Amino acid sequence: MKNVVVTDTTIGDVRGEEGFYHYRQYDATELARTSRFEDVWHLMIHGTLPDDAESAAFARRIGELRLLSPATVDLLRKVVTPEVEPLAALRLALASEGILERPLFDLTEGERTDAALRYAAIAPTVVAAAHRLSQGLDVIDADPTAGHVSDYLRMSTVSADDDAVSALQTYLITTIDHGFNASTFAGRVVASSGSDMTSSILGALGAFLGPLHGGAPGRALAALDEIGDPANTRDWVRGRIAAGEIIMGFGHAVYRTHDPRAELLKEVVTARYDSSLVRRATAVEAEIEAAINELKPGRRLYANVEFYAGVLMSEVGLPPSMFTPTFGVARIVGWTANVLEQAAERKIIRPVARYVGPEPRRGAFDR
């Protein structure tokens, strides 16, 4: 299903031909350059950018909600092993925290909003805790007085210097929402039935776990490692195309020009980090684009957000195992905003399929 309009939204849109996307009425990349994560979160949930008093109150509320219950921490300590991925732990924690959650259909608008904030706020704490437990380390408790991005990086890596927090905040804001992608649509389908907030988030998370969606940042960085010397790039691309394989970190279902998120993240990493990884990434990007133009003239295929996301997250100290979970920490804000909008409609999404099997016959038939 592609380019099928299923509902109206005031949350945002992606204009693929223009290389532009927005949250509400604001340019999303400009928000990422100039705003705090919590302020954009406020915009997504409440529809407006907060004034100073509202900003402080909202950040304080999110900080308090970021604290995990002792029962959830104990659950994570019992089940997380080196084999358990952080998003699998998040799936379990959300299901546990929401075991008594009532259907959205039966909640007031305020109650629905409370649930949205609660579950989105604990996501970074759960992800960071699961990461540390999988490494044989103990959980670092959330600090309700810290900023959301700073606290997430501290809980994950112990350190959170200002440059790293600023770079990561830019990335997280760029990935809060992005139109009716697969996970957002999945969450809205669940919400349209009147189901509860946690089930709606878990529906979105299930779609997000697929490597064609949320799982790409680590794979894009792995491709950089596989290529090694940028001089190897064109031969590598030829081999991938000949084998009919996807070039992770390149191309997008909507954009037909440069991905504005990738362009912004490239700007951030080249300005902040003079490292061999950044230099190799920019060289490989140019070589891949040139190779694709050579092999498939006229095909427009450019770096997408995952290509530079992996580079940025590596530079701020996050390991590849945390790339997709970090993406999820941002996207859960967009999921919950969409769930709230869908729940307010109180109409179930009921598409139809086009049957393409043998012609059916009425009446009795021979077996």
Residues known to be catalytic? 252, 306
Rounded-to-integer distance, Cα 232 and Cα 301, Å? 19
Structural tokens at position 90? 């998040």
Angle at which helices 109-134 and 70-79 cross, to 10°: 40
Rounded-to-integer distance, Cα 23 and Cα 326, Å? 20
Contact 272, 167 (CB under 8 A): yes
Give the three-class secondary structure for 37: helix
Per-position b or e across 283-321, b if 16+ CB within 10 A of its CB: ebbebbbebbeeeeeeeebbbbbbbbbbbbbbbbbbeee
Per-position b or e across 82-112, b if 16+ CB within 10 A of its CB: eebbbbbbbbbbbeebbeebeebeebeeeeb
Contact 342, 9 (CB under 8 A): no
**CA 133 to chain CA centroid, nearest Å:** 22
Compute the Cα dihedral for 43, 45, 46, 51 and give only its sign. Answer: negative
26: DSSP letter: E
Rounded-to-integer distance, Cα 279 and Cα 284, Å? 9
CB neighbours of residue 2 within 10 Å: 5
